[in-house]
Amino acid sequence: MKRATWNGGELAESDRCEVVEGNQYFPPDAVKRECLRESTTHSVCPWKGTASYYDVVVKGETNKDAAWYYPETKPAASNIKGYIAFWKGVTVA
C-alpha cells in the first residue's frame, strides 16, 4: 500500500499504483480531490504526452504544481491515463 502525504495531510492511498520512471501514479479514485486545485501548468513528455498539474493544498498551505497527471496519453503510457503522481516535497511511501 502506497501513501502520499504533505504538510501533515494524506493526499492519496492505494495498492493499485502504477510505477513509471520511479514515480508512483495513484488511481484517480484513490486521491483526495479536496487537496488538489487545478493549475495552468503543462509540460510535454515525448513518450507519455502532455501533463497537466495540480497545486496541492493542505491546512491552508499551497504546494504549487506538486501533482501531475496525463489526461490523454500516447499509446506507450496508456496505463497511467488520468492517474496522479506527486513530487516537490510530497512524501510517497
Q: Render pLDDT for 56-89 as a digit per residue (tens, 0 to 9).
A: 999 999 999 999 999 999 999 999 999 999 999 9
Q: Let me know the angle formed at the C-alpha of 14 by 10 and 18, rounded to the nearest 5 degrees.
A: 120
- pTM beyond 0.85, yes or no: yes
The pLDDT of residue 31 is 98
25-36 mean pLDDT: 98
Coil/strand/helix, residue 80 = helix
User: DSSP label at 72?
Assistant: S
User: DSSP label at 89?
Assistant: T
Indicate the CATH number for domain 2-92. 2.170.150.40
The pLDDT of residue 19 is 98
2-30 mean pLDDT: 98
Measured CA to CA, the distance from residue 84 to residue 71 in angstroms comes to 10
For residue 29, give the C-alpha cell.
479514485
Q: Indicate the domain borders of the chain.
A: 2-92
The pLDDT of residue 86 is 98
